[in-house]
Amino acid sequence: MKEANRDTTHFGYKTVATQEKASMVADVFHSVAAKYDVMNDLMSFGIHRLWKRQTIACSGVRQGHKVLDLAGGTGDLTAKFSELVGESGQVILGDINDSMLRVGRDKLRDLGRVGNIEYVQMNAEALPFPDNSLDVITIAFGLRNVTDKDKALRSMYRVLKPGGRLLVLEFSKTDNEALSKLYDFYSFNILPTMGKLVANDSESYRYLAESIRMHPDQETLKSMMEEAGFEQASYQNLTGGIVALHRGFKF
């Protein structure tokens, strides 16, 4: 699902100048950061916690690992990874949006997660790490907001160690027609209303719904990971394909 014209890209259903997308996405997440966790629970009926638990279970993270929770936002994955890597390991909570990063940092400090967590504002397309330096990278519900997904996947591949793995947890496509119709109604009618009532922002949540529809489907994303260099790329559909967990390795 590559862009036909590199000078333009999608922002939801809109076509915008490529150089403008990052700031437009930033505005969305500046707006929703304070209510992000509350809205996640409401939007997914709490199921996002099960999706993230499965991501952790498939990560292979263990003591001493260096892990990047990319687009990690409010730090749900970082909190668990911090336990798993222990004092000898390190977890980097990375996000392009400083508002989300601040919310994540404050939440993790309130939970007592200190010592092995670093907070870094970064762009997924140009990760600020040496080649072959990370054991695991996760990106949960963030890849669809990246302007150049192919470039970001290559950047992730570059910084992973040989033997390292990438996990991409993201909204995807369901083949169930009844579920698809119900999901569309929910996304474009209920979700913006919920955003208005809870976060006083319906437009940001309308964008989030549109961005999900514009994201590559399961097979396309698998192919994109393979083109970036990842081997044994695979995916697992969750909740009927509404969400998919992709996994790839660097050998």
> Which parts are annotated binding residues?
74, 95, 123-124
Q: How far apart are the first and last CA of the chain?
A: 26
Residues comprising the binding site for S-adenosyl-L-methionine? 74, 95, 123-124
The span from the CA of 156 to the CA of 54, in Å, is: 21
* H/E element, 182: helix 177-185
Structure tokens that stand for 243 in this block: 């969400």
Inter-residue contact 175 to 154 (CB < 8 Å): no
Residue 184 backbone phi and psi in degrees, to 5: -65, -45
191: number of CA atoms within 13 Å, CB side? 21
What would the two tokens of residue 37 be? 């966790």
CA distances, 33 to each of 27, 73, 74, 169 (Å): 10, 8, 8, 19
DSSP state of 145: G
